[in-house]
Amino acid sequence: MPTVYVTRPLPPPGTDPLREAGLDVRQHARDRPPTGEELLDGVRGADALLCLLTERVDAAVLAAAPRLRIVANLAVGHDNIDIPAATARGVVVTNTPDVLTEATADLTFALLLAAARRLVEGDRLVRSGRWDGWSPTQLLGQPVAGRTLGIVGMGAIGTAVARRARGFGMSVLYHNRNPAPAAAEVAARLVTLDELLRRADVVTLHAPLTDDTRHLIDAAALGRMRPTTVLVNTARGPLVDEAALVAALAAGRLAGAGLDVFEREPAIAEGLAALDNVVLAPHVGSATTQSRGDMVRLACRNVTEVLAGRAPVTPLNPQVLEGRDR
Ligand code: DGY
């Protein structure tokens, strides 16, 4: 019976689809990432690995698992997996695109509105008992409706954010390596990163983390934004130089930020938590019961398909499948 190593307890349906397919499931029982040693122990002898973005699946992990046929990541992002190393070993890698698009776009808009309208500052004020009533000068934020949104990375999530922005009467600029097919549908205009940073009232990040996008938003990029601009990041923390962001927010060179992801999760940059003009969320973009359930079902399906000798639904290195007996 093929064995699947699952690196964490999962939300419903959990590992039921794997067990129903007759697979032997070994699961890390604690709700924290396995240590490096635990991960190596877990994959040894496994035919499939169902892992999270918190696990670094590198050449050493792959080498410890000579029987491995698939690494199924429970995330759309896959910067935690060395895909060339997996491909070299003939291991299929899959992710969970699409099923989390709307949930992540919703959270992006929640952070955008909360940061622009200083919602968390207001919540703290009311709770503190220090609020002494309506004031015409209190907690003045940035307008959203009718303003310009700049989307960096116009994939499925960026496009879903653009659709929401149209509902707010926003003009949409985007920056992408290639023109996005869906851009016309949301009346989004392709511009350089420089123009986007200079013109957008809200900049939102939806690019994958690669060597090219690490610190895409560094001190120089932050310097191109205006003091009224709001930055939102629900993609990957290392897209932003977090120390430079703290400096820009502290100096009032940026109006605010809404962050769901951080450079060194779960740690955050020194000084960030003390700032009033930032809204912080614990990487919960896809955290709805619907979205997480769909992610689990898709990751399990990818595992069961590959172990049954069929193609997975969402392969990242389809070249591994070529020439394989199906
Ligand atoms: C992803 O899927 O990449 C998110 O960061 C977590 O759902």
Report how far ligand 1's centroid is from the alpha carbon of 58 (Å): 19
pLDDT-derived band at 323 (thresholds 50, 70, 90) equals low
Is 139 a residue whose pLDDT tops 70? yes
How many alpha carbons lie under 13 Å from residue 258 in its C-beta half-sphere? 26
Residue 205 and residue 85 share a domain: no
Residues 49 and 158 in one domain: no
Can 206 be counted among the known catalytic residues? no
Nearest CA to ligand 1 atom 2: 75
- Ligand 1 contacts CB of residue 298 (under 6 A): no
Confidence of residue 74 (pLDDT cuts 50, 70, 90): very high
Nearest-10 crossing angle of helices 101-116, 156-167: 50
| pLDDT (0 to 100) of residue 326 | 45
What percent of the chain lies above the pLDDT cut of 70? 99
Cα–ligand 1 centroid distance for 306 (angstroms): 22
**Sheet of strand 256-259: strand arrangement:** 188-190, 171-175, 148-152, 202-205, 230-233, 256-259, 278-280
Q: State which ligand 1 atom lies nearest to the alpha carbon of 235.
A: 5
Please give the tally of structural domains in the chain.
2
Do 7 and 134 lie in one domain? The reply is no
Residue nearest to atom 1 of ligand 1 (CA): 75
What does the pLDDT read at residue 285?
Answer: 98
Residues 200 and 250 in one domain: yes
How far from each other are the two terminal CA atoms of the chain, in whole angstroms? 19
pTM for the model:
0.97
Q: Say yes or no: 242 and 113 in one domain.
A: yes
- Does residue 159 share a domain with residue 276? yes
pLDDT single digits (tens) 88-99? 999 999 999 999
Query: Rounded to an integer, what distance in angstroms lies between the CA atom of residue 77 and that of residue 314?
Result: 12
CA of 308 to the centre of ligand 1 (A): 27
Tell whether ligand 1 has an atom less than 6 A from the beta carbon of residue 97.
no
Residues 106 and 132 in one domain: yes
The answer to whether residues 275 and 314 belong to one domain is no
Q: Are 234 and 164 in contact (CB under 8 A)?
A: no
Judged by DSSP in three states, 190 sits in strand
Q: What is the pLDDT of residues 166-184, one digit of tens each?
A: 999 999 999 999 999 999 9
Residues 134, 256: one domain? Answer: yes
Determine if ligand 1 sits within 6 Å of the CB of residue 100: yes
H helical segments located in the chain: 16-20, 36-43, 59-63, 83-88, 101-116, 119-128, 156-167, 193-199, 219-224, 242-250, 289-307
Q: How far from chain centre, in Å, is Cα 319?
A: 25
* Residue 324 predicted with pLDDT over 70: no
Domain containing residue 63: CATH number: 3.40.50.720
Catalytic annotation present for 265: yes
Q: Does residue 306 share a domain with residue 179?
A: no
Edge-to-edge strands, sheet with 24-27: 24-27, 3-6, 48-51, 70-73, 92-94
Q: Is 77 in the pocket of ligand 1 (CB under 6 A)?
A: yes
Residue 64 and residue 207 share a domain: no
Whether residues 42 and 91 share a domain: the answer is yes
- What domain range includes position 299? 3-97+289-325
